[in-house]
Amino acid sequence: MLGDGQYAVPQGKLPVIVTYLEMHARAATKDAALPAGLTFRQVTPTLAWYRDVFSRVGSQDWLWYGRLKLSDAELQAILDDPQVHFYTLTKDGRDEALLELDFRESGACELAYFGLTSALIGTGAGRYLMDRAIDLAWLQDIKRFHVHTCTIDSPQALGFYVRSGFTPYKREVEIDDDPRSIGLLPETHGARTPII
């Protein structure tokens, strides 16, 4: 176990602080209305659909890259799993959100991915989508709904999850290859996080 202090991070690596949150009973939802011009729907995703929405929601600004590390076969296995459910918000014929609920752990649901493209940020769509996530998770026979976020995600994410009824219970420091240094993402992505 490391003590207090500062630690050198090698070049090409990306340190992030990960906060884990959970709820053990259904949180009250805000009854947010679906913003005008949007449609909420469940998706049976293809690889192309998933990679497109995942990248537009999380990779340009926030450096989401976990699913980019998976081979097509590994990702397809998740997409085909009946215990993993996918939803989106559609605007003008284009899908602009990702809600992924993972029920593969008995008695639990992980909010695996949750986010909006820039086309929906600030419209109230995030609150609507979170209300649906809470409703859909607790329709199943679960005792725990959990999520994690980190310092390369939107700075608003942690506060939003807490306001939605999740309680933080653990924090970790994770060091991984910077996805831009290994070619998973262009160097222009994640401008608020410099490449070292």
Express each pLDDT in 21-59 by its tens digit. Answer: 999 999 999 889 999 999 999 999 999 999 999 999 998
> What are the residue boundaries of the structural domains of the chain, listed by start?
13-177
For 13-177, CATH gives 3.40.630.30
Both structure tokens of 5: 């202090």
Alpha helices in the chain (DSSP H): 47-54, 72-80, 125-139, 157-163
* pLDDT tens-digit map of 116-151: 999 999 999 999 999 999 999 999 999 999 999 999
Backbone angles phi, psi at 76, to 5 degrees: -60, -35
pTM here is 0.95
Distance CA 126, CA 124 (A): 5
Residue 52: CB atoms within 10 A of its CB come to 14
Using a 10 angstrom Cβ sphere, with 0-12 exposed, 13-18 middle and 19 or more buried, the burial of residue 97 is: buried
